[in-house]
């Protein structure tokens, strides 16, 4: 029961997060994974890249920024 509630709250949090917080979550996952350092990408440039990708997502009911964030977060959790 506790795990189910936690998953529900996390899903709600990810879905309701404003774009600046979504961008921060994306940045945090890629930074913590070591990918940003491995690719030698300066932090401001990576943040600009995230903003550009987010801006190009279409406002459709399913395959949107929220969906991408959910997939990214799931992959991150599974890889831990």
Q: Please give the pLDDT value at position 80.
A: 78
List pLDDT tens digits, range 41-79.
999 999 999 999 999 988 887 888 888 888 888 888 888
Residue 59 and residue 37: Cα distance in Å, rounded? Answer: 31
Q: Please give the DSSP secondary-structure letter assigned to residue 58.
A: -
Q: Please give the DSSP secondary-structure letter assigned to residue 63.
A: S
Looking at the chain, the whole-number percentage of residues with pLDDT higher than 90 is 29
pTM beyond 0.75: no
Q: Please give the pLDDT value at position 48.
A: 95
Give residue 5's Cα distance to chain centre: 21
Q: Please give the pLDDT value at position 53.
A: 93
Residue 5 and residue 39: Cα distance in Å, rounded? Answer: 37
The model's confidence at residue 1, banded by pLDDT at 50, 70 and 90, is very low
Question: Which residues form the domain of 44?
Answer: 2-79
* CB-based contact 57:68 (threshold 8 Å): yes
The total of structural domains in the chain comes to: 1
């Amino acid at each position: 029961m506790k795990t189910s509630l936690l998953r529900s709250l996390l899903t709600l949090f990810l879905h309701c997060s404003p774009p600046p917080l979504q961008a921060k979550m994306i940045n945090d996952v890629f930074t913590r994974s070591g990918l940003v350092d491995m690719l030698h990408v300066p932090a401001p440039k990576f943040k600009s890249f995230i903003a550009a990708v987010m801006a190009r997502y279409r406002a459709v009911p399913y395959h949107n920024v929220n969906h991408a964030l959910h997939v990214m977060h799931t992959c991150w959790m599974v890889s831990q």
